[in-house]
Amino acid sequence: MSDAVEVQIDGLAGPTHHFAGLSHGNLASLANAGWSSRPRAAARQGLAKMRAVMELGVVQAVLPPLARPDIGFLRGCGFAGDERAILTQAAAEPHLLSVASSSAFMWAANAATVAPSVDTADGRLHLIGANLMATPHRALEGLARTAQLRRLFRDPALATVHAPLPASTALGDEGAANHCRFALEHGLPGVHLLVYGRGHGLTADRLPKSFPARQTREASMAVARTLGLPPARTIYAQQLPAAIDAGAFHNDVVMVANRDRLLVHERALVDQAAVLKQIARLVPGLRIHEVRDADLPLAEAVRSYLFNSQLIDTADGMVLLAPMQSSEGAPAKLAQRLIDDGFIGRVQFIDLGQSMANGGGPACLRLRVAMTPAERASLAPGAIIDATTLRKLETHIDMYYRESLKLADLADPQLALEAQTATAHLESVLGMRSGTLADS
């Protein structure tokens, strides 16, 4: 796999993107509940980030939005009749309607956990869909996203997409947001770090006090077994409870890694010194930059989402694609220090205001997959995008997405029709045949 490269697969915000505070433990989501959202801007900002990644010379792919509102979910809640009648009834239960209309699938980092073919027992690329059991709105995504990923990675001789773990809170799995892979090159055997927040037998004094821990130890171990990861190169670590209570509901809010680089806040993990020593022993040449709380307090790290940046390797060196919220103050000073130390070549700040207002930064929006040329060539047609496709997607967004959206609008049958029409039209924009990626 000497010619393997990392493909960035981004989720796209849907027409029903809104702010309802559905994510307990996500400070931005809770703080902005009830705001009027801007679906067109949300999707446009995501496309702008994809363009920035492509301009760095990185392969970029896109996952279409899932169908929302999820009428099947609402029927399962006891609402009956045609779609208009169901939406009218659901208006009396706005929380359930919001769950059914969530656009949280835009954060593709939670879609799955990935093991490149160089790391697995059978030499094939493996992915396992995340069950996202911690929150009702995200639990709706697991099977539908897995179906999309199976259409995307369509050659079973090269890739296997596993179903999510059983739908049990004891096996809560949040996908790649709690997973890091280290290797000197993408095509070399890697070391996998899987981070969990809770597990059977952990006493109350070893768990967060204010917010729930979403990923379980049992899920992390089951994910590693399913992916076929070598035990000798797989590490499990507990997320520091204080980090979760500070708003780091996923580990990627306090840690980011790529190849031979690891940027981590000093208050990210339990027994962090021992964990970092173990990783460094398995990955000679690994560069670790551990950020002191005195230089960037944990609360500021969570507010700015600096650690939720994309750390991207390019022909010109490592680039940190960071949210605009980290462009001033202590986060900006830290980014400059990373440049001065040669840890990264440069930092590029990007506006993702709509995603950030719901608690998702640059790294949340993408699932990354190290792939060989043959594996990339086997992807479903239309998945990998170029500048022309991006322009078509921008036109599509401007045509089908509303400028603004209030929570009360979710009960509007016209909005549901607009979302359905947008989903159908997107298939033609991406050049996908019926039954391929867009047919989810």
For the chain, give percent helix, strand, coil, nearest 5: 40, 20, 40
Question: Is 50 in contact with 389 (CB distance < 8 Å)?
Answer: no
pTM of the model: 0.95
Instruction: Quickly list DSSP for 297-326.
Output: -HHHHHHHTGGGSEEEEETTEEEEEEEGGG
Please say if 83 is a catalytic residue. no
**Separation of alpha carbons 221 and 323, rounded Å:** 32
Please say if 24 is a catalytic residue. no
* Secondary structure of 26-53 in HEC code, one letter for each residue: CHHHHHCCCCCECHHHHHHHHHHHHHHH
Which residues are CB-contacts of 388 (< 8 A; sequence separation ≥ 6)?
none
Q: What is the pLDDT of residue 424?
A: 87
Mean pLDDT by 10 residues, the chain (440 residues): 89 97 94 95 98 97 96 97 96 97 98 98 97 97 96 96 97 98 96 98 96 97 98 98 97 97 98 98 96 98 98 95 98 98 98 97 98 96 93 96 97 96 87 51
Neighbours of 53 (CB within 10 A): 23
The one catalytic residue in 141, 174, 218, 266 is 174
Sign of CA dihedral 420, 424, 426, 432: positive
- What domains are defined for the chain? 5-68+103-429 (3.75.10.20)
**Separation of alpha carbons 256 and 268, rounded Å:** 11
Which residues are CB-contacts of 186 (< 8 A; sequence separation ≥ 6)?
1, 4, 5, 6, 116, 259, 370
The one catalytic residue in 250, 265, 266, 375 is 250
**Separation of alpha carbons 75 and 145, rounded Å:** 20
- The number of angstroms, rounded, from the C-alpha of 375 to the middle of its chain's C-alpha atoms is 21
The one catalytic residue in 126, 180, 364, 375 is 364
Please say if 137 is a catalytic residue. no
Neighbours of 346 (CB within 10 A): 14
